[in-house]
Amino acid sequence: MPATKFTNLDFDQIKTSIKDYLRANSDFDGFDFEGSNFSVLLDTLAYNTYITAFNSNMIVNESFLDSATLRENVVSLARNIGYIPRSRSAAEAVVSIKIDLGEVSTETVDGVAVAKAYSNGTTVELKKGLVCVGSVQDSSFTFSISENIVRSVVVEGNHYFANFDNITVSQGTYLSKKFTFDNSLDQKFILDNPFIDTSTIHVYVNTVSGVGLGREYIISDDITNIDGNSRVYFLQEVQDEKYEIRFGDGLLGKKLGDTGDGTVINVDYIVSDGESGNGASGFSFAGNLIKTSNGVSADITSAAVTTITPSQGGADIEPIDSIKYYSPKIYSAQNRAVTPRDYEGIIKQIFPETESVSIVGGEELDPPEFGTVQISIKPKGATYISDFSKSRIISQLKKYTVAGINQKLVDLKILYVELNITSYYNYSQVSTEDTLKAKIVNSLTKYSQSVNFNRFGGRFKYSKVLQVIDNTDTALTSNITKVIIRRDLKALVNQFAQYELCFGNRFHVEPNGYNIKSTGFFVAGESSPVYITDIPNADGKTGVLSIVKPIDDGVRVVSKSAGVVDYIHGEVKLTTINIQSTVKENDIIEVQAFPESNDVVGLRDLYLELSVSKSTINMLKDVIASGDEISGTQFTRDFYTSSYSNGNLIRE
């Protein structure tokens, strides 16, 4: 009897195994397994075995975090190590609402007409729920608040006003849900709506005859600081991206029905559109305002809305890949930020818009800043984080950090890699040069989105890029590619300031200078743009920066000593200078250098990005490969390309 192979999962292999097994049995000698009705029975057995093996394989896969594919299984496995996946985050905007309540009436005091105070105790209340509507491109989004806000009436000029200054509104629809606890063990409190921003959930417990919402219960994600009298609730994601609210058992959290708090549960929350709500501005009022004076209430129908900060911070629910990646890191962090990996996981929880994050200990900085952690964050779809988001991140990080350690959130520093490509091609194999050039651009764009780029600590691999270019089309015969590294200097216009740019890579040094180049900018006393260049010192390790401008018969030096350059560490430092404006938009001066090594690294807090749009692609005919000549004389005379950097004064 043949040995049975239990690893066969293919239908045909299973059927063959069954037939081999039966042929080895003497009772089935002479059977035609293919041409008889017995074949139908074999198909049934093989199909049943195949389905059973498939289900068994899926069940085992869904039992482990790394191999699970269904969201509810991934969430359940992450819950076992104390990880709660991020919900959708509602975009938040800061607005001010002003209500004009009419002209001021006057009264005479000691013969002088003075403004008559509004009725004592008059207030205006902005009701929770819908507040305003904002627009993003061609779409409109609703914005709400989850708590009532009350303001007193004040006099401004000759009018009465109620001012709601700098209030934060959340994108989404405000909803409420009511449960009644029935003392059963299997009762579940599941919120019916997906897409809930869990940070907006408010839970209240009241008696059946109670007035108002009742006592508020607070969400708990740490059982070490609660007891049997703590009014807390626990939250977990269940099927279909919905959420279940759970209460304590009398040991960890107050138990429902055991005290005078009651059995009626009121839950308020906001259902959000997530990332789609970012960037809304131009708000129009759509809320509910009630003026109360001397016990009499009246509705207010109009109000003026001023945008202080457009909506930002909206994010979609955490995807499965992110849960798998971050849940072990959060578990190892144990709700404390000590190591860089701890910070990475916690910051992603605090600020869901994080695309990449760099954590640098103060001891690694130059000069060292002991007791400091420097944080740099690349947000999704943007370059910089707003001051509002910065303060929010730092504030929430304090809950996890070690006492005595300060966090410093710095702006993103992008190190751009640009390419100057000369690509040779066999013109007999292509229709047009532009088509071939477009293919190269597409290949580089695709490569720029690989794991080597768009992150901190990324690495540009020169040999890989050469292969990407040559493999774009069979008509391409070779390429000569020069690498340029660039940083953007954000000028403080009309201010005296010093600037430092760190490239994190050693510079290539030409003894005659022109190693550092920049785009143009304007300084006092000069009507045309000036530029940054360098003059190397004799040691070849450092140099002097100069401010120069090209003229008809050469170069005029505007400032001979405007800073220093460290070629070894890749640092450019400008001394005090007053930049009045820049040629580039947004007060940007592009500063470039040539790296000593064509393999470029995003060191520490430098975010590496391949700039395809700023790269140059030159197409040249390969007259040798095309068969136009054999000796190479014409090639070296008319199609020769240098592999080294140019000697131009300015950045082109």
Q: Taking each helix axis from N to C terminus, what angle separates 38-61 and 11-23, rounded to the nearest 10 degrees?
A: 130
Please tell me the pTM assigned to this model: 0.61
- pLDDT at position 267 is 93
Helix (H) or strand (E) holding 350: helix 340-350
| Local structure of 480: helix, strand or coil | strand
- pLDDT at position 26 is 67
* Token pair in block for residue 520: 């143009």
Given the DSSP bridges, would you call strands 215-219 and 232-237 parallel, antiparallel or unpaired?
Answer: parallel
Q: What angle do CA 559, 564, 570 make, to 5 degrees?
A: 135
Taking the CA atoms of residue 561, residue 565, residue 566 and residue 568 in that order, the dihedral angle to the nearest 10 degrees is -130
* Token pair in block for residue 254: 């107050």
Contact 262, 205 (CB under 8 A): yes
Contact 577, 497 (CB under 8 A): yes
What 8-state DSSP symbol labels residue 362? G
- pLDDT at position 142 is 92
CA distances to 444, 460, 470 from 463, rounded to whole Å, are 13, 9, 11
- pLDDT at position 501 is 87
Strand pairing partners for 369? Answer: none
Q: How far is CA 52 from the centre of its chain?
A: 43
Is the preceding omega at residue 536 within 30 degrees of 0, hence cis? no
What 8-state DSSP symbol labels residue 304? E
What residues in the chain have per-residue pLDDT under 70?
Answer: 1-9, 25-36, 105-121, 259, 295, 333, 381-382, 451, 623-647, 649, 651-652
Q: Taking each helix axis from N to C terminus, what angle separates 340-350 and 387-397, rounded to the nearest 10 degrees?
A: 120
- pLDDT at position 272 is 92
Please tell me the number of Cα atoms within 13 Å of 45 on its side-chain side: 14
326 backbone dihedrals φ, ψ, rounded to 5°: -90, -25
- pLDDT at position 29 is 66
What is the rounded distance in angstroms from the CA atom of residue 62 to the CA atom of residue 60?
5
Contact 2, 21 (CB under 8 A): yes
